[in-house]
């Protein structure tokens, strides 16, 4: 079975496992105060060129989103998100569970438009009944988006400018950040994110770790954020598990290297599919590729390859997603293309 269903189907990069073994019996204090967490934070600050950043390690993406968003929002405030944002559809209401509304803007291939954001904010304050409404209190974007697309530096700057004009924080969900940073042609880097965002996280779970997301506050973290992590059930007694992983990922450029591999595999797959005449649902420069397939083709390949169902645009076609990852082997991409060639 070929496995392109997602980017979290294997364990962790072997260097991480080695490092876990190596440090296993070293005794450390708990709750993220161990030396591995400290070292990982220093390395991330260096990679971000942001020596004063506050950094925390959380376990997963939904958890990071709920903990961060509820910490950034004030009373009667909501998070503005593209309608396709992960927080708006795929987190079982985790944001609302913290008492806050998600305010949806249109999606442009998964992205938010700075102009539409500005209009929402301007219209909100222009409406005399706005004290009866949910206040747009922050902006949530993802990079890469849920559709694998990327913001340019200019687009981030434009969104950030609107946020700062209205004094609301900009938060970037980087569950797949590595794959965004290594996409060919992108001008968005970790220092760029530190410049424009008030908070972002560097996704580990989908980029080579067993679990873990590194949350970066370039300026400063919200009041009592450590206690809020605890309150959200997001504080590991053995914080070292996250520290060791991120320390390894940020040693010798491992994080970016393995992300680059996934991109290389995705590009090869994309080129192959184009050559085979497949249509794409949209143009993704990262590790997720969305392909329009005939249902009859799907029927034929379904026992040989795992993919994600995305949507049904009509009665005879389906949009599916193939994802590569740090763990994808080139021979599997070749095999997929060979398989599809039979039905092209």
> Hey, which residues between 181 and 210 contact a second copy (CB under 8 A)?
205-206, 210
Give the x-and-dash track for 296-335 against a second copy (CB under 8 A): ----------x--x-----------------x--------
- Segment 37-76, which members bind a second copy (CB under 8 A)? 59-67, 70-71, 74-76
Identified binder of a second copy from the candidate list 100, 111, 143, 321, rule CB under 8 A = 100
| Beta carbons within 10 angstroms of residue 246's beta carbon | 26
Choice between 47 and 94, CB closer to a second copy: 94
Nearer to a second copy, 67 or 186 (CB): 67
Tokens of 1: 């079975």
Answer for the pair 138, 77: CB distance below 8 angstroms, yes or no: yes
Is the Cβ of residue 222 or residue 272 nearer to a second copy in the bound state? 222
Query: In angstroms, what is the minimal distance from the CB of 44 to a second copy?
Result: 21
Q: Which of 222, 91, 78 is nearest to 146 (CA)?
A: 91
CA distance 187 to 281: 24
Tokens 């997603």, residue? 321
Q: x/- site string to a second copy, residues 253 to 292, per CB under 8 A?
A: ----------------------------------------
Alpha-carbon separation of residue 49 from 45, 169, 194, 280, 341 (angstroms) = 6, 20, 8, 37, 46
SS3 86: helix
Q: What is the C-alpha separation between 342 and 262, in angstroms, rounded? A: 25
Residues paired with 311 in a beta bridge: 319
Query: Looking at beta carbons only, is 87 or 156 nearer to a second copy?
Result: 87
Within a 10 A sphere around the Cβ of 149, how many other Cβ atoms? 22
Q: Which residue reads 């946020």 in tokens?
A: 163
CB 185, min distance to a second copy, A: 28
Comparing CA positions, the residue from 92, 91, 95 lying closest to residue 71 is 95
Q: Which residues ranging from 205 to 244 are in contact with a second copy (CB under 8 A)?
A: 205-206, 210-211, 222-224, 226-228, 230-238, 240-241
Region from 16-24, 160-168, 262-270, 277-285 binding a second copy, contact rule CB under 8 A = 16-24
Q: At closest approach, how far in Å is the CB of 57 from a second copy?
A: 12
> Per the structure block, which two tokens stand in for 122?
């301007």
Query: According to CB under 8 A, which one of 46, 49, 93, 342 is a site residue for a second copy?
Result: 93
Residue 251 engages a second copy in binding (rule: CB under 8 A): no
Site for a second copy in 108-137 (CB under 8 A): 128-129, 131-135
DSSP state of 112: P
Least distance from a second copy to the Cβ atom of residue 133, Å: 6
Name the one residue in this structure whose structure tokens are 């083709």.
297
With binding defined as CB under 8 A, does residue 26 bind a second copy? yes
Name the β-bridge partners of 323.
288
| For a second copy, the closer CB: 65 or 289 | 65
């Amino acid at each position: 079975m070929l496995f392109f269903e997602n980017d979290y189907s294997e364990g962790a990069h072997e260097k991480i496992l080695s490092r876990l073994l190596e440090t296993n019996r070293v005794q450390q204090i708990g709750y993220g105060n161990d030396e591995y967490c400290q070292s990982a934070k220093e390395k991330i600050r260096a990679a971000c060129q942001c020596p004063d950043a506050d950094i925390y390690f959380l376990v997963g993406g939904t958890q990071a989103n709920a903990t961060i968003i509820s910490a950034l929002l004030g009373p009667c405030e909501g998070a503005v998100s593209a309608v396709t944002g992960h927080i708006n559809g795929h987190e079982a209401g985790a944001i609302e569970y913290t008492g806050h509304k998600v305010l949806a803007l249109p999606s442009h291939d998964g992205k938010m438009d700075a102009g539409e954001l500005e209009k929402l904010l301007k219209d909100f304050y222009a409406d005399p009944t706005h004290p009866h409404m949910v206040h747009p209190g922050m902006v949530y974007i993802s990079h890469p988006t849920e559709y694998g697309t990327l913001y340019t530096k200019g687009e981030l700057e434009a969104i950030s400018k609107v946020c700062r004009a209205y004094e609301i924080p900009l938060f970037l969900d980087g569950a797949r950040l590595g794959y965004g940073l290594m996409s060919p042609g992108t001008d968005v880097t970790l220092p760029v994110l530190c410049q424009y965002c008030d908070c972002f996280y560097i996704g580990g779970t989908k980029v080579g770790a067993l679990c873990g997301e590194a949350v970066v506050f370039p300026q400063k973290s919200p009041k009592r954020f450590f206690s809020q992590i605890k309150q959200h059930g997001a504080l590991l007694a053995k914080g070292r598990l996250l520290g060791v992983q991120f320390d390894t990922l940020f040693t010798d450029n491992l994080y970016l290297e393995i992300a680059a591999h996934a991109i290389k595999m995705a590009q090869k797959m994309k080129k192959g599919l184009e050559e085979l005449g497949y249509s794409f649902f949209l143009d993704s420069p990262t590790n997720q590729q969305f392909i329009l397939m005939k249902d009859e083709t799907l029927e034929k390949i379904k026992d040989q390859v795992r993919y994600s169902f995305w949507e049904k645009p009509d009665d005879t076609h389906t949009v599916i997603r193939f994802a590569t990852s740090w763990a994808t082997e080139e021979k599997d991409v070749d095999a997929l293309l060979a398989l599809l060639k039979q039905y092209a």
